[in-house]
Structures are given as C-alpha cells and as structure tokens.
Amino acid sequence: MNDRARWAFGVALCNFCVAGLGIAGCGAREPAPADTRNELASLPATSELDPHGWKVITSAIHRNDGTMSTLFGNDIAVKASRAGQMPYPPGADLSWVTWASQEDAHWFGAKIPGKVQSVERVRFETAGGQPSYDKYEGSPWTKHAVEPAAAAERVAYIVRQRASVMP
C-alpha cells in the first residue's frame, strides 16, 4: 500500500469513527420528567398559599437541621428588601419555605430540596403595624397555631434576612 492509499484509508477511518460517535450520541433517550423536575420539592397550589409567581429574595442552608430554605416575596417585598427599606411597607408579603435536604442523584456530593417541611408567611398590612404570621405544615397543608412569642421570634428572624445580591 503506497502513502497516498494509506492516507486515504486513515481519513476514511477517522470519518467513520466520527460518524459512528455522532450516531451513537443521537440514540440517547429523552430524559424522563422525574430526571429533570424535582416533584418532591414542589409546592402545592392553594388559594391561601401561592408564592409561585413571587421572586426569590434570599436562601439559606441549615446543615445542622438537614434543611434548606428560600425566602420568596411579592413585588413590593422584593423592591423593599433590595433597597434595604425596613420595616417592610404595607402590602409586602413574604414566604419562608423550608425543605428537607436530600442527595442529588445526578450530581455527586450535591444537596437538593426534598419534601417541603413548612411554609411561614409574613404579611405587612398597615404602616407601622404588626405583621401577621401564619405557619403551614403537613400534608394536606394545615395552618398551625403558634404562640405569640414564638411567632414574634420567627417574624423577626424572617424580616432580618437580607436580599441576595444578584447580577
């Protein structure tokens, strides 16, 4: 076999390998919804509790408790939080959602939200007035009675959270 034939054979072999890899890559299955969406961490849609259209203000990981939380707010709350306007103005509505954390099956060593443990809602209805506080837990979601001192402590904790700096 001369050099020209050897070169042509090498080029043909490379083209065959590249084409074979391309075809093999095209044969991958479509990911199942369970592979792309964490249904366990989804919030139920209820009329009383619906932060789905809200924006994220900040988030936290609580390693000691094995939980992670996200503070959501309506447009009024987000604007006030990003501007550092405290106390929150009337109409501000916050939801502190806490999930159990779980291992991510797709990323070694990563943690992702698991089942929702609780949703705490803080609403500012009047200027200078005390905000209302509600806590929801369980399945189905149930509003739990909270002692006034414990509620005041939770409101203070939630309101102290500062907005994350986002690009």
Same domain, 70 and 16: no
Helix H or strand E segment including 101:
strand 93-103
Cβ-based burial of 6 (10 A; exposed 0-12, middle 13-18, buried ≥19): exposed
Same domain, 16 and 52: no
Q: pTM (2 decimals)?
A: 0.75
What is the predicted pLDDT for the residue at 49? 64
Domain-located, residue 108: yes
**Average pLDDT taken over every residue of the chain:** 81
Domain-located, residue 130: yes
Which residue type is seen at 155? V
Domains: count for the chain: 2
Same domain, 77 and 152: yes
Banded pLDDT at 17 (limits 50, 70, 90): very low
Q: pLDDT tens across 99-132, in order?
A: 999 898 888 888 888 899 999 999 999 877 789 9
Domain extent at residue 152:
38-160
Domain-located, residue 114: yes
Same domain, 65 and 16: no
